[in-house]
Amino acid sequence: MNHSLQLADTSSALDPYFHDDRGFTLYQGDSLELMAQLESEQFDMIFADPPYFLSNGGMTCKNGRMVKVDKGDWDRSKGVQANHEFNLAWLAECQRLLKPNGTMFVSGTHHVIYSLGFAMQQLDFKVLNDISWFKVNPPPNLSCRYFTHACETIIWAAKGQKSRYTFNYKQMKEMNGNKQMKSLWSIMSPRKKEKLQGKHPTQKPMELLERIVLAASDEGHSILDPFNGSGTTGLAAARHGRRYVGFDLSEEYLDLTERRYEAMFQPSLV
């Protein structure tokens, strides 16, 4: 199940940070730079959890305490226009790398989702659904000046208007008690058992990514996550026989992904 990346420049090479012949490969570097080196139309599905640009001195609640929102330089806003230009650039690369019938899922809060949706319209993606992920157990709102933020939006879109995309409707219906699955998904944030190998500030729950992978890809399909993070997309792909490629700048989080992946095959580590 090895996924050998096809490079636009055949004289160059990309060395993986981690690779497993079962079809799981990680690369370290800037996602835009890495994607630009690849030949077009290689992936059946992409999931992206991009920067939300939240690390600008605000506060949040973590484990019952007020803490500053500071996920890292990668999450700092450079202004509305610059943020949108960044979103346009990486989404355009994702669209280029999708196969003609491929789809992608993009997650975000209100801080970024409107830019992402507009950028996808500008690029002529075919938007299929806006899925509301209800977190069930969100942290409280400390200021008491807003409703508690309890949802994230996930945009599901096909590469183009004529894409004959994969949707495993029957499987989704079976998973939902033999009723049509709606676009409101009630799924808890990651439990402690999903963080035994380490933590990532924007980690998504395995249940969420497994549903996405099963809904829009088939066994043997290739999946890309340009913002790998803690690797949940990759773990969901590996559990269900999909090939995976993940990009990330952080050595710390690539190592975390590797540990989580290896723990899947060694129950004593879970």
In sequence order, what E strands does the chain have? Answer: 18-20, 24-28, 43-48, 59-62, 65-68, 98-108, 126-134, 151-158, 184-186, 222-225, 243-248
* Residues β-bridged to residue 62: 65
CA 210 to each of CA 55, 83, 148, 215, 262: distance values in angstroms, whole numbers, following the listed order = 28, 29, 26, 8, 18
Distance (Å, whole) CA 189 – CA 206:
9
Q: What CATH number is attached to the domain comprising 95?
A: 3.40.50.150
Interhelix angle for 206-216 vs 232-239, to 10°? 50
* Residues β-bridged to residue 48: 106
Distance (Å, whole) CA 257 – CA 137:
25
Q: Is 208 within a domain?
A: yes
Q: Is 10 within a domain?
A: no
In single-letter form, the type of residue at position 181 comes to: M
Q: Is 235 within a domain?
A: no
Structure-token match 């090939």, residue found: 243
Distance (Å, whole) CA 202 – CA 190:
10
Q: Count the domains in the chain.
A: 1
Q: Is 140 within a domain?
A: yes
pLDDT at 60: 46
245 contact partners, CB below 8 Å, separation of at least 6: 3, 5, 25, 26, 27, 43, 222, 223, 224, 225
In sequence order, what E strands does 73-169 have? Answer: 98-108, 126-134, 151-158
Domain, as residue range, for 67: 39-225
112: how many CB neighbours lie within 10 A of its CB? Answer: 21
Q: Is 270 within a domain?
A: no
pTM of the model: 0.88
Q: Is 259 within a domain?
A: no
pLDDT at 188: 95
Can you read off the two tokens belonging to residue 200?
Answer: 């990532």
Reading the chain (270 residues) residue by residue, the pLDDT tens digits are: 445 688 887 657 799 999 999 999 999 999 999 999 999 999 999 999 999 876 455 544 455 554 454 545 645 667 899 999 999 999 999 999 999 999 999 999 999 999 999 999 999 999 999 999 999 988 888 888 889 999 999 999 999 999 999 999 999 999 999 999 999 999 999 888 898 888 888 899 999 999 999 999 999 999 999 999 999 999 999 999 999 999 999 999 999 999 999 999 886 554
3-state secondary structure of 60: strand
Q: Is 238 within a domain?
A: no
Q: Is 267 within a domain?
A: no
CA 20 to chain CA mean position, Å: 20
